[in-house]
């Protein structure tokens, strides 16, 4: 499972992945060949033709404390080591998102399948 970004303004050090891999989504299958560094988070896949920037909740919770409150605010709070937090609220369609410098980042529990490992040695 991978995090996928299409907005290069949010990434640093975009480069070729060691191996290209297939990414499966509701629109079909595509080949992803690039990765980039999301500052404060780590490496993510870069797919310029994507329609959204997506962080998988399963990956986010491995790096940060994630709290979900379904009653008070119906949001995911991602608590960072520096004491700040990022809030993901649901859209009308039910996808949780956060606005980052007027750009949108989604957090999802949907699994994305990989054929080849992104960071596998050549």
- Residue 53: DSSP 8-state: E
DSSP, collapsed to helix, strand or coil, labels residue 40 as coil
- Indicate whether 43 pLDDT > 50: yes
Among candidates 67, 77, 112, 74, which has minimal Cα distance to 90?
Answer: 74
Domain boundaries, the chain: 4-108
CB 44 within 8 A of CB 35: yes
Query: Does the global pTM surpass 0.95?
Result: no
pLDDT (tens digit per residue) in 59-106: 999 999 999 988 888 999 999 888 888 888 888 888 888 876 655 455
CA distance 58 to 109: 7
Average pLDDT over residues 27-39: 90
- Indicate whether 118 pLDDT > 60: no
Measure Cα distances from 31 to 23, 82, 113 in Å: 6, 35, 12
């Amino acid at each position: 499972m991978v995090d996928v970004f299409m907005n290069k303004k949010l990434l640093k050090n975009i480069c070729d992945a060691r191996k290209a891999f297939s990414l499966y989504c509701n629109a079909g299958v595509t080949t992803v060949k690039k990765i980039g560094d999301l500052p404060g988070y780590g490496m993510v896949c870069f797919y310029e033709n994507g329609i959204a920037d997506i962080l998988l909740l399963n990956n986010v919770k491995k790096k940060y404390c994630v709290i979900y409150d379904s009653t008070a605010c119906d949001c995911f709070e991602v608590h960072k080591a520096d004491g700040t937090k990022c809030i993901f609220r649901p859209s009308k369609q039910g996808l949780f998102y956060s606005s980052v410098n007027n750009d949108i980042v989604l957090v999802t529990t949907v699994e994305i399948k990989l054929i080849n490992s992104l960071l596998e040695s050549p």
